[in-house]
Amino acid sequence: MAEHIYLDNAATTPILPEVLDAIRICYEESFANPSAIHTAGAKARHEISKARATIAHAINADPEEIFFTSGGTESDNLAIQGVWFLSDKASRKKICHSAIEHHAVLDTCMFLAKHGAEVQSLPVGPDGKVLIGEALERIDNQTLLVSVMHSNNETGVIQPTEEIGATCKKHVALFHVDAVQSFGKIPLDVEKIQCDLLSISAHKIYGPKGVGCLYIREGTPISPILHGGGQEKGIRSGTLNTQGIVGFGKAVEIAINDFAAENERLTSLRDRLVRRALSEIEDVALCGDAKDRLPNNVQLLFKGLEGETLVLELDRLGVFASSGSACSSESKDVSHVLQAMGVPREWARGALRLTLGRRTSFSDVDRTVDSLVRIARNIRKLYKN
Ligand SMILES: Cc1ncc(COP(=O)(O)O)c(C=O)c1O
Could you give the C-alpha distances from 240 to 33, 72, 106, in angstroms and in order?
A: 8, 16, 27
Closest residue (by CA) to atom 16 of ligand 1?
153
**Residue 200 DSSP SS3:** strand
Question: Above 70 in pLDDT, residue 72?
Answer: yes
Give 271-274's long-range contacts (Cβ < 8 A, gap of 24+): 272/362, 272/365, 272/366, 273/298, 273/354, 273/356, 273/365, 273/368, 273/369, 274/298
Same domain for 161 and 34: yes
> What is the Å distance from ligand 1's center to 72 Cα?
5
Distance from the alpha carbon of residue 379 to the mean position of ligand 1, in angstroms = 32
251 and 269 together in one domain: no
Distance (Å, whole) CA 217 – CA 121: 24
| pLDDT band of 329, cuts 50, 70, 90 | very low
As separate numbers, helices (DSSP H) first and strands (DSSP E) second, the chain gives: 13, 12
Closest ligand 1 atom, residue 74 Cα: 11
* Mean pLDDT value of segment 204-223: 98
SS3 44: helix
Q: Which of 214, 241, 257 finishes a domain?
A: 257
In three state form, how does the secondary structure of 238-295 look?
A: CCCCHHHHHHHHHHHHHHHHCHHHHHHHHHHHHHHHHHHHHHHCCCEEECCCCCCECC
Q: C-alpha distances in angstroms, 333 versus 110, 238, 261, 324, 345? A: 20, 38, 38, 11, 10
pLDDT tens digit string along 143-159? 999 999 999 999 999 99
- Cα-trace Rg, the chain: 21
The share of the chain scoring above pLDDT 70, in percent, equals 98
Within this chain, do residues 226 and 317 fall inside the same structural domain, yes or no? no
Q: Is 195 known to be catalytic?
A: no
- Name the amino acid, one letter, at 95: I
Using DSSP's 3-state secondary structure scheme, residue 301 falls into strand
* Same domain, residue pair 166 and 238: yes
Q: Are 199 and 75 in contact (CB under 8 A)?
A: yes
pLDDT at 359 exceeding the cut of 50: yes
Is the pLDDT at 326 greater than 90? The verdict is no
Is 149 near ligand 1, meaning CB less than 6 Å away?
yes
The pLDDT of residue 332 is above 70? no
The kind and range of the H/E element at 109 are helix 103-113
- CATH number for the domain that contains residue 64: 3.40.640.10
Instruction: Specify the pLDDT at position 384.
Output: 79
Task: Give yes or no for residue 212 CB within 6 A of ligand 1.
Answer: yes
Q: What is the arithmetic mean of pLDDT over 284-301?
A: 98
- CB of 65 closer than 8 Å to CB of 56: yes
Residue 383 Cα to ligand 1 midpoint, Å, equals 36
Closest CA to ligand 1's atom 14? 11
Catalytic residue among 96, 195, 213, 327: 327
Question: Is the same domain home to 229 and 347?
Answer: no
Q: Are residues 244 and 274 in the same domain?
A: no
Distances (CA, A) of 364 to 83, 270, 292, 345, 371: 44, 11, 24, 30, 10
If one residue of 181, 198, 214, 296 were mutated to test the ligand 1 pocket, choosing by the most ligand atoms within 8 A of its CB, it would be 181
What are the tens digits of pLDDT across the range 105-126? 999 999 999 999 999 999 999 9
Domain-ending residue, one of 221, 238, 257: 257
Instruction: Assess whether 199 and 309 both reside in one domain.
Output: no
295 shares a domain with 200: no
Q: How far is the CA of 179 from the centre of ligand 1 (A)?
A: 9
Same domain, 98 and 128: yes
Give the domain CATH number at 375: 3.90.1150.10
Tell whether the model's pLDDT for residue 176 goes beyond 70: yes
Shared domain check, 304 and 237: no
Q: Are strands 5-6 and 66-69 parallel, antiparallel or unpaired?
A: unpaired
Rounded Cα–Cα distance for residues 53 and 66 (Å) = 9
Domain that holds residue 137: 17-257
Determine the pLDDT at residue 89.
87
CA–CA distance, 198 with 192 (Å, rounded to integer) = 13
> 129 and 140 share a domain?
yes
Helix axes 39-58, 242-257, angle to 10 degrees: 30
Bridge partners for 199 per DSSP:
178, 214
Quote the Cα angle for 12-303-348, to 5°.
Answer: 50
Binding site membership of 102 for ligand 1 (Cβ less than 6 Å)? yes
CA of 78 to the centre of ligand 1 (A): 14
Q: State how far the Cα of 296 lies from the Cα of 364, in Å rounded to an integer.
A: 13
d(CA 314, CA 298) in angstroms, rounded, equals 15
Q: What is the pLDDT of residues 28-51, one digit of tens each?
A: 999 999 999 999 999 999 999 999
**Position 2 pLDDT exceeds 50:** yes
User: Per residue in 224-269, pLDDT tens?
Assistant: 999 999 999 999 999 999 999 999 999 999 999 999 999 999 999 9
Q: In the chain, how many domains are there?
A: 2
With a cut of 90, say whether residue 330 has pLDDT above it: no
Q: Does the Cβ of 153 fall within 6 Å of ligand 1?
A: yes
Q: Does the pLDDT of residue 180 top 90, yes or no?
A: yes
Residue 139 Cβ < 6 Å to ligand 1: no
Q: How confident is the model at residue 324 (pLDDT cuts 50, 70, 90)?
A: confident
Mean pLDDT over each residue of the chain, to the nearest integer: 96
Q: How many residues does the chain have?
A: 385
Residue ending a domain, among 257, 273, 300, is 257
Q: How confident is the model at residue 301 (pLDDT cuts 50, 70, 90)?
A: very high
Answer yes or no: do 224 and 271 share one domain.
Answer: no
Say if residue 286's pLDDT is above 60: yes
Q: Is 178 in the pocket of ligand 1 (CB under 6 A)?
A: yes
